[in-house]
């Protein structure tokens, strides 16, 4: 499971691409455009593209895109 | 054992409308076209200040009796009222409705407190009563006024929920045979969709809008829906010895088009077979499936096998097939 691919899919969950460069350490909760709708799009993306039902708390408690990526990577098992 | 059939379905919407333009006026950061784009709803009907869920259900029942003169109200021997907005803590609203509709005093009457899964649950009870010859003509009413649970500042939920009432007659003869049911409950997630004050657990208001009005954790509900409802569809098909290809029309609880479209894609249902009917009503909780059925009946779409799936507050879910 590649971080770059995950990052691209993650960015597409936003209605408008967030300003600046998204990285492994970006705290997505602080990004302009992060909203309850983005959360839903992220849940759907993880379900449809990675086949997992994410725990909503994992999205809310993760401090960065990288932290969430590691959780998802572990769940996917590759 | 006898069969049970859905004989007739009608519904009632209160006249007052809360449109996307009204929402955009109240919440300028939430433009009308964006609301429609996200949730697929243009307007919601809102009960009057003195109008209860039972009033909407009574109106729906009167429409049913008026449009179907062959149905004699004296032949109703059981009344089920599904609502989470009773007139009083006691007596049951169904007892009041029995009198208001002039149903025989020999008629049984019960309330069921369920939301978005409620219609399918109530249908299962109505079908069981008919199949076991406990009752012959079951009048199944739903009525809901979630608008009264919503904070005036809650733009998300005010964009979604509308009020309505519905009436369904379940009998031993009719057009649409009620098949086998699948059910599910997960009370561990009850707090994802809840009104915390006003009941016996906490009668007085908390003074906190998140607790005194309807609270919905949209992400938790969405996650539950994506996880459970495909399984519910599979289980419902399996209990009816059917496969997905045997279903001619899927009628799910009309939550909003975002959830419905994600579910449709995940389950792999063709658009033509997936009924969406909430543009003029919003999410009407336990009324959404009977409203969709009534519209599908009148549009001539009710042919072959129709799979119903209700899901939501509880958390609770249920499915069946009408044939």
* B262 interaction partners in chain A (CB closer than 8 Å): 44, 47-48
Q: How far apart are CA B224 and CA B316, in angstroms?
A: 10
Judged against a pLDDT cut of 80, whether residue A40 lies above it is answered with: yes
pLDDT band for A78, please (50, 70, 90 cuts). low
Tell me which H or E stretch contains B140.
Answer: strand B138-144
Phi, psi of B77 (to 5 degrees): -115, 5
Instruction: Walk along chain B (323 residues) in steps of 10 and give the mean pLDDT of each run.
Output: 94 97 91 89 97 98 97 98 97 98 98 98 98 97 97 92 98 95 97 95 92 94 96 98 97 96 96 96 98 94 93 98 97
Which are the contacts of B173, defined by CB distance < 8 A and separation ≥ 6?
B5, B7
Contact A36 B218 (CB under 8 A): yes
Chain A residue closest to B216 (CA)?
Answer: A36
**Mode of pairing for the β-strands spanning B138-144 and B78-82:** parallel
- In this prediction, residues A37-49 reach a mean pLDDT of 93
In this predicted structure, what is the pLDDT of residue A35?
86
pLDDT exceeds cutoff 90 at A15:
no
B223/A56 Cβ within 8 A: yes
Residues 13-72 in A contacting B (C-alpha not used; CB under 8 Å): 36-37, 39-40, 43-44, 47-48, 53-56, 59
ipTM at complex level: 0.89
How far apart CA B301 and CA B322 sit, in angstroms, is 13
Q: Listing from the earlier edge strand, what are the strands of the sheet with B164-171?
A: B108-112, B78-82, B138-144, B164-171, B5-12, B176-177
Q: Which residue in the set B218, B265, B266 is minimally distant from A40, CB to CB?
A: B218
User: What pLDDT does residue B115 have?
Assistant: 98
How sure is the predictor about A64, in pLDDT bands with cuts at 50, 70 and 90? very high
Which H or E element spans position B45?
strand B43-45
Report the pLDDT averaged over residues A46-51. 93
Give the pLDDT band (50/70/90) at residue A62: very high
Output the pLDDT for position A33. Answer: 84
Q: What is the pLDDT of residue B225?
A: 96
Confidence of residue A20 (pLDDT cuts 50, 70, 90): confident
Q: Any bridge partners for residue B283, and if so which?
A: B161
What pLDDT score does B306 carry?
A: 97
């Amino acid at each position: 499971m590649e971080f770059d691919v995950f990052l691209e899919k993650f960015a597409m969950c936003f209605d408008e691409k967030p300003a600046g460069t998204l990285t492994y350490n970006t705290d997505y909760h602080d990004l302009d455009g992060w909203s309850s709708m983005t959360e839903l799009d992220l849940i759907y993306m993880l379900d449809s593209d990675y086949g997992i039902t994410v725990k909503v708390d994992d999205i809310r408690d993760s401090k960065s895109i990288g932290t969430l990526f590691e959780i998802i990577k572990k769940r996917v098992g590759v | 054992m006898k069969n049970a059939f859905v004989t007739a379905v009608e519904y009632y919407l209160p006249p007052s409308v809360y449109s996307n333009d009204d929402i955009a006026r109240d919440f300028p950061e939430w433009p009308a076209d964006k609301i429609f784009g996200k949730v697929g709803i243009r307007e919601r009907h809102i009960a009057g200040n003195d109008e209860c869920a039972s009033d909407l259900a009574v109106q729906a029942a009167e429409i049913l009796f008026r449009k179907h003169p062959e149905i004699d109200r004296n032949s109703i021997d059981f009344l089920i009222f599904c609502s989470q907005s009773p007139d009083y803590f006691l007596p049951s609203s169904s007892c009041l409705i029995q009198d208001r509709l002039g149903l025989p005093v020999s008629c049984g009457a019960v309330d069921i407190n369920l939301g978005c899964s409620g219609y399918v649950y109530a249908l299962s009870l109505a079908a069981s009563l008919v199949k076991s010859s406990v009752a012959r003509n079951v009048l199944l009413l739903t009525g809901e006024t979630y608008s009264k649970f919503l904070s005036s500042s809650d733009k998300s939920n005010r964009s979604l929920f509308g009020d309505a009432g519905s009436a369904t007659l379940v009998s031993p003869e009719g057009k649409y045979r009620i098949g086998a049911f699948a059910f599910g409950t997960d009370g561990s997630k009850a707090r994802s969709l809840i009104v915390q004050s006003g009941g016996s657990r906490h009668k007085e208001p908390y003074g906190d809008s998140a607790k005194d009005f309807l609270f919905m954790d949209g992400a938790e509900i969405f996650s539950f829906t994506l996880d459970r409802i495909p399984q519910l569809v599979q289980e419902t098909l399996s209990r009816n010895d059917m496969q997905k290809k045997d279903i001619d029309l899927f009628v799910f609880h009309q939550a909003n088009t975002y959830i419905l479209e994600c579910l449709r894609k995940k389950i792999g249902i063709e658009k033509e077979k997936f009924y969406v009917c909430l543009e003029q009503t919003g999410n009407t909780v336990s009324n959404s499936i009977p409203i969709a059925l009534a519209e599908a009946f009148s549009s001539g779409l009710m042919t072959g096998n129709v799979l119903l799936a209700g899901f939501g507050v509880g958390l609770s879910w249920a499915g069946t097939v009408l044939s």
